[in-house]
Amino acid sequence: MPRATNSPASRKRHKKTLKYARGYFGSKSKLFRYAKEAVQHAWQYAYIDRKKKKANFRGLWIVRLNAACRANDITYSRFIEGLHAANIQMDRKVLSDLAIRDEAAFTSVVNQVKAALKTKAAAAATA
């Protein structure tokens, strides 16, 4: 019985992988064996970096908030503590955007935070 290799399906698979590998350097874009490996690695990096991107942006927002808070005579950690005490439920992205685009509004938020921290300290001193 002759050996059947299902050549049309294999060719289609190879062409699809080589299409994904277009633009890669050297044999990684020309030869299926190396293209397959390069494409798989690229997909792994893409998956991982989609997760890293979220962490990077959160770090950026925290750096911006820390700078804006210090300009208003409060540290970032005390600011976050005060946000919880004042029951202000804004995330770091929105707060960072507020600090950049509308300094007066951010200053009013900081003042609310400072007031909440004072009442929290007063309540802790009496307890």
Q: To 10 degrees, what angle do helices 103-126 and 32-71 make?
A: 70
All structural domains of the chain: 14-126 (1.10.1900.20)
pTM for the whole thing?
A: 0.79
Instruction: Please give the pLDDT value at position 68.
Output: 96
Radius of gyration over every alpha carbon of the chain, rounded to an integer in angstroms? 27
Instruction: Please give the pLDDT value at position 113.
Output: 96
Question: Could you tell me the CA-to-CA distances from 27 to 30, 34, 35, 43, 110 in Å, in that order?
Answer: 5, 7, 7, 18, 57
Output DSSP code: residue 26. G
Buried b (16+ CB within 10 A) or exposed e, 11-39: eeeeeebbebbeebeeebbeeeeebbebb
* Those residues with Cβ within 8 angstroms of residue 105's Cβ, 6 or more apart along the chain or in another chain: 98
Output DSSP code: residue 2. P
Output DSSP code: residue 4. P
Cα distance between residue 42 and residue 33, in whole Å: 15
Q: Average pLDDT of each block of 10 consecutive residues along the chain (127 residues)?
A: 89 96 96 97 98 97 97 96 94 96 96 95 86
Instruction: Please give the pLDDT value at position 78.
Output: 96
Instruction: Please give the pLDDT value at position 5.
Output: 87
